[in-house]
Amino acid sequence: MQKVYLLCLLCFFGAVAGKAQLSKGGTPYSFGSDFRATDLAKMPLPTFAVPALDLPTLQREDAETVNADRFAAATAVSLQPNTHGLWQDLPTGEQMWRVQINLQGQVTGMRLLFDKFRLPEGGRLFIYSPDHQILLGAFTAHNNKPHLSFATTLLKNKTIILEYTVPAGKAHETLLHIHRIDQAYRTVGDMEKKGDKVGFGNSGSCNLDINCTTLANDWQEEKRCVVRIITVNGGGSSYCSGSLIGNTAQDRKPYILTAYHCRKGVSVSFLDFWTFDFNYEISDCNAPNAEPANTQNLTGATLKSEYLPSDFCLLELQDAVPNTFNAYWNSWNRLGQNVSGAVCIHHPSGDVKKFTRDTDMNSTTSYYDEQPNDNTHYRQVWNNGTTEGGSSGSPLFDSAGNIIGQLHGGEALCSAPNDPDWFGKVSASWVGGGTVETRLSDWLDPIGSGAFVLTSVQREKIQNPFKLYPNPAQKDLQLAYENSAWAGQTIEVRLYDQVGKLAYQTKQTLPTNTASKPLRLPALPVGLYVVQIVAQQGIFTQTLVVE
């Protein structure tokens, strides 16, 4: 069967919800008037005091660790319904268990990590703050997993209540055990030149909110693929960024592309506790100080492949992405060519989603320009916005909206706007280390199409002003352009054959007295070619059939 090497990917607007939805919604029983009218509501709620953190020690550890980005430190605990909290028999015939968790000292929030989580049918777990401003749940049997692990996203309060209701006679079927609480302590600190605060509202002032800059108007689809990742290791929790990425089977596999260094040195078992926050972004630009709701989260991922030299890590979420998340599986481009007009969408310092743009041509280098050049990275210098700690793993898009890399690291920050960042190239990660466990190709091209570009029918952010005709062609072509703005500009025309090899390349200066330019191709084998036209405003792609 003849392979097609340039595929069109229909936009993925969500997935089958099924068992995957993290939270079922609803209201805790104790919120209702029926409960508040009973004597049960008057019974004092037992509290569980979490041991205070040794902040001086943590701050010394952070100061001594290069690129330290931990924001919450791990505290070992043992909390479960048969040893803590209050059980009550409800008028409904159900049983209810509640406990209040209190933090101490200068901390601002917590993550709850369960090493035992299994609920029977009908069981419902809610997690909320005393003022009800934070409310997660209901978590149900739909959240059960074979490995029994579960974790919450960051709960920004020093007091949290757990409320669990279960049908009569099923309490003994419940497994709930919190073995660790990560306490958020690092609201002020040194993120290794990447901003001095962590969390909502604390990224650098030069960052551009994804919904509050006209520069991002044409990037409202792609933003929906970007997630904030709360990573977990033995010492606590940290922030990274990542993106949903599509594959040639178009089967909505929940693959997340992020950075290898976000997982480096972390046991694979900790991935069960990683949390992925969708749509964590401001919706009202007139209220930038109002933190958005953070209730669209999924917990747990499985490692698929990773590769140190290009710093990529591909994960698969353990749950499908619910339709309610309005997610977007993004396309990709593995041609590996330098581009202009590149964009990064990310969560700097764990803040809400931000937008960064480079209007110039990037370059291909080693990480930090190390020699010899292994051509594994794009080097970017931003014109608008920046990146920070927590942006690691965020996608780099070409001007057509295709992912071409993920953030490895760099020196860019608000006070150094001309310093570069480096992104591991999808083209380098495609073959990676040559095995299934170290490359992208097996996962992003499971049907073996050999595609070099997986894209949504040419959705350049600048409408493609160029047209090649006739198409099909033999040798003589005309390159037409739409308006006089292109006259006098020097462009580069590149043709890639069906195996991605550069078959022809030429630079042309467009005439000022006409809207077309003749091109004469060398003798090329018959077949399908990908044509890239590189101009100051971006890279424009189309296909050409040579007869």
Q: pLDDT digit string (tens) for 331-343?
A: 999 989 899 899 9
How far is residue 125's CA from residue 142's CA, in Å, rounded to a whole number?
12
How far is residue 502's CA from residue 499's CA, in Å, rounded to a whole number?
9
Q: Which residues contact 54 (CB under 8 A, 6 or more apart)?
A: none
How far is residue 354's CA from residue 333's CA, in Å, rounded to a whole number?
22
- DSSP secondary structure letter of residue 527: E
Cα Rg of the chain (Å, integer):
26
Question: How many angstroms separate the Cα of 431 from the Cα of each of 210, 372, 434, 515?
Answer: 32, 20, 5, 41
How far is residue 496's CA from residue 546's CA, in Å, rounded to a whole number?
12
Q: pLDDT digit string (tens) for 101-142?
A: 999 998 999 999 999 999 999 999 999 999 999 999 899 999
Q: What's the whole-number mean pLDDT along residues 241-266?
A: 93
- Position 332 scores a pLDDT of 94
Let me know: does 102 contact 48? Beta carbons within 8 Å: yes
CB atoms within 10 A of CB 65: 12
Choose the most confident range, by mean pLDDT, from 83-87, 495-499, 504-508. Answer: 83-87
Q: What's the whole-number mean pLDDT along residues 481-491?
A: 76
- DSSP secondary structure letter of residue 400: T
- What are residue 434's phi and psi, to 5 degrees? 85, 5
- Position 68 scores a pLDDT of 63
pTM listed for this prediction: 0.81
What are 308's two structure tokens? Answer: 């140190």
What are 173's two structure tokens? Answer: 């079927």
What are 106's two structure tokens? Answer: 């200068």
Q: Which residue has the tokens 């001086």?
A: 56
Q: Is the pLDDT of residue 405 over 70?
A: yes
Q: What's the whole-number mean pLDDT along residues 286-302?
A: 85
CA 189 to chain centre: 24
Q: pLDDT-based confidence at 196, cuts 50/70/90?
A: very low
Q: Is the pLDDT of residue 501 over 90?
A: no
- Position 484 scores a pLDDT of 64
- Position 219 scores a pLDDT of 95
- Position 11 scores a pLDDT of 40
Q: Is the pLDDT of residue 57 over 50?
A: yes
- Position 542 scores a pLDDT of 79
465 versus 73: which is more confidently predicted? 73
CATH topology of domain 43-184: Jelly Rolls (2.60.120)
How far is residue 336's CA from residue 320's CA, in Å, rounded to a whole number?
30
Catalytic residue among 23, 84, 182, 261: 261
Q: How is the chain split into domains, by residue range?
A: 8-14+190-444, 43-184, 462-546
Q: Is the pLDDT of residue 277 over 80?
A: yes
75 DSSP β-pair partners: 181
Q: pLDDT-based confidence at 186, cuts 50/70/90?
A: confident
483 versus 528: which is more confidently predicted? 528
Q: pLDDT-based confidence at 12, cuts 50/70/90?
A: very low
Torsion of CA 224, 227, 228, 231, to 10 degrees: 170
Three-state secondary-structure class, residue 29? helix
Q: What's the whole-number mean pLDDT along residues 23-41?
A: 88
398 part of the active site: no
261 part of the active site: yes
How far is residue 126's CA from residue 119's CA, in Å, rounded to a whole number?
12
How far is residue 155's CA from residue 390's CA, in Å, rounded to a whole number?
18
Q: pLDDT digit string (tens) for 298-333?
A: 999 999 999 999 999 999 999 999 999 999 999 999
Q: Give the residue from 339, 354, 361 showing the smallest Cα distance to 413.
A: 354
Q: Give the residue from 130, 186, 125 showing the smallest Cα distance to 157.
A: 130
Q: What's the whole-number mean pLDDT along residues 517-539?
A: 82
Per the prediction, the chain carries an average pLDDT of: 87
Question: How many angstroms separate the Cα of 412 from the Cα of each of 39, 210, 380, 426?
Answer: 59, 18, 9, 21
How far is residue 154's CA from residue 532's CA, in Å, rounded to a whole number?
44
- Position 485 scores a pLDDT of 66
Catalytic residue among 149, 310, 392, 394: 392
**CATH 2.60.40.3080, applies to 462-546:** yes
- Position 452 scores a pLDDT of 84
484 part of the active site: no
How far is residue 389's CA from residue 71's CA, in Å, rounded to a whole number?
11
Q: Which string of b and e fits 181-209 if b means at least 16 CB within 10 Å?
A: bbbbbbbebebbebbebbbbebbbebbbb
144-153, 197-206, 416-425: least confident range: 197-206
Catalytic residue among 311, 398, 421, 445: 311
Name the amino acid, one letter, at 471.
N
- DSSP secondary structure letter of residue 155: B
How far is residue 299's CA from residue 277's CA, in Å, rounded to a whole number?
9
Three-state secondary-structure class, residue 358? strand
Name the amino acid, one letter, at 277.
D
- Position 467 scores a pLDDT of 87
How far is residue 455's CA from residue 458's CA, in Å, rounded to a whole number?
7
- Position 461 scores a pLDDT of 57
Q: What's the whole-number mean pLDDT along residues 246-253?
A: 89
- What are residue 268's phi and psi, to 5 degrees? -60, -30
Query: Would you put residue 222 in left (φ > 0), alpha (ψ -120 to 50) or beta?
Result: alpha
Q: What's the whole-number mean pLDDT along residues 41-55?
A: 95
Q: Give the residue from 336, 505, 511 showing the smallest Cα distance to 424.
A: 336
Domain 8-14+190-444 homologous superfamily, CATH: Trypsin-like serine proteases (2.40.10.10)
Q: pLDDT-based confidence at 18, cuts 50/70/90?
A: very low
Q: Which residue has the tokens 């969708």?
A: 278
Q: Give the residue from 520, 538, 458, 397 showing the smallest Cα distance to 11.
A: 458
DSSP code string of 161-180? EEEEEE-TT-GGG-EEEEEE
